[in-house]
Amino acid sequence: MSTASFSIWTTRAASATRRGGSVAVTLLGLLLLTFFIGRVMPLDPVLAIVGPDADASAYAQVYKELGLDKPLWTQFAIYLGDLLHGDFGMALLTGNPVITDIARVFPATLELATLAILFGVLAGLPLGVYAATHQGRAGDHVARLITLFGYSTPIFWIGMMAFLVFYAWLGWAGGVGRIGLAYDGLIPKHTGLLLIDTAWSGEWEAFRSALRHILLPAVILSFNSVAYISRMTRSFMLEQLSQEYIITARVKGLSQRRIVWGHAFGNIRVQLLTIVALAYGGLLEGAVLIETVFAWPGFGQYLTSSLLLGDMNAVMACVLLIGLIFVTLNLISDALYKIFDPRTR
């Protein structure tokens, strides 16, 4: 190995080590903060187990079994030790291992959020580009009004109104849950994603039922993403359209389509990767209101129920998963940066 190759290899190894250490410290800090906040919250997990009518001896026994009689730092050290052995604890809410519960509920949220971010990108990017290319005109004002609506209107209210109109009145939507009752529990679980599992099994009637159930909540959930993505796209595009290379392209007689999409948009796509990644992460951990309105058995509902019950095993595992999601999305964004923008390599 040459000196130059060895130098490059050691530099990359050092960079990967630093990044891995940064990720570990971030997740550890997230767990530490969540653990101590959970311990000072006015919620008693012991009462959730024994009930309010239990005597003092039963309460004391469960309190000791949960390890709540030990100092907080000792409790956290025990939890980390179990975590390193793959033990996330038992959920008070269901009595199942926490990892089993998360594996059951997360695919529902993953499917919903993935469809929502697709809608957000397909609507938000063109809307932002259109607003930037029509700055100050009627189209720009309409786009900004849509953005304001997406930001300011409570998503649970939009969900309830949409449910009333498209399900109760028009009968277009499929109702609550992920699939019709006639197909519930009959579809083999290959991935946990109903649209994929029904298509995989060739159950096209069930596929249509799952599609009718997911479209409305996914569209509603995408509203905030549409607003965020379109607003950032407009801002990035306005910056690029004011650059000298755009003026030069116009002087050369290039078409408006090529200038906008080939030059200006091409130079902001790297920035948009981070915007889309952050929006996707937000959908994965912030879908609880829509899941509540549409009785969607997903990750958000599970986290909220666990939090209200004081089930810290479930809450800690959910927070760790959320942290891993955002860290992973950021790492993917960094990798895509290097692919699309050679200057960052």
Amino acid at 23: V
9 has a pLDDT exceeding 70: no
User: Model confidence at 116, in pLDDT bands (50, 70, 90)?
Assistant: very high
CATH 1.10.3720.10: which residues of the chain? 102-344
Q: Which residue has the higher pLDDT, 27 or 302?
A: 302
Question: If we measure between CA atoms, which residue out of 172, 171, 198, 196 comes closest to residue 184?
Answer: 198
What is the rounded CA–CA span in Å between residue 50 and residue 61? Answer: 10
Q: What is the CA radius of gyration of the chain?
A: 25
Give me the mean pLDDT over the 114-122 stretch. Answer: 94
Task: Please check whether residue 226 is in contact with residue 195, taking contact to mean a CB–CB distance below 8 angstroms.
Answer: no
What torsion, rounded to 10 degrees, do the Cα atoms 112, 328, 280, 88 define? 50
Helix (H, G, I), strand (E, B) or coil at 268: coil
Residue with tokens 């790297």: 270
Q: Which tokens in the block code for residue 324?
A: 């891993």
Question: If we measure between CA atoms, which residue out of 319, 332, 334 comes closest to residue 102?
Answer: 319
How many helices and strands (H and E) does the chain possess?
A: 15, 0
| Angle formed at CA 123 by CA 192 and CA 298, multiple of 5 degrees | 25
Task: Please check whether residue 123 is in contact with residue 226, taking contact to mean a CB–CB distance below 8 angstroms.
Answer: yes
User: Model confidence at 10, in pLDDT bands (50, 70, 90)?
Assistant: low
User: Model confidence at 13, in pLDDT bands (50, 70, 90)?
Assistant: low
Taking the CA of residue 193 as centre, how many other CA atoms within 13 Å lie in the half-sphere pointing to its CB? 11
What is the rounded CA–CA span in Å between residue 124 and residue 216? Answer: 17
| Alpha helices in 51-97, H assignment, sequence order | 56-65, 72-84
pLDDT (0 to 100) of residue 314: 87
What torsion, rounded to 10 degrees, do the Cα atoms 304, 305, 306, 309 define? 120
Q: Which tokens in the block code for residue 185?
A: 């529990």
3-state per-residue secondary structure call for 155-217 = HHHHHHHHHHHHHHHCCCCCCCCCCCCCCCCCCCCCCCCHHHHHHHCCCHHHHHHHHHHHHHH
Q: How many percent of the chain have pLDDT more than 90?
A: 19
CATH topology of domain 102-344: MetI-like fold (1.10.3720)
Give me the mean pLDDT over the 281-302 stretch. Answer: 84
Q: Give, rounded to a whole angstrom, the gap between the first and last alpha carbons of the chain.
A: 22
What is the rounded CA–CA span in Å between residue 184 and residue 105? Answer: 15
Question: CB count, 10 Å around CB of 189?
Answer: 12
Write out pLDDT tens, residues 51-63.
677 777 777 887 7
What is the rounded CA–CA span in Å between residue 223 and residue 30? Answer: 29
User: Model confidence at 114, in pLDDT bands (50, 70, 90)?
Assistant: very high
Residue with tokens 């930037």: 132
Burial 304-325 (b: 16+ CB within 10 A, else e): bebbebbbbbbbbbbbbbbbeb
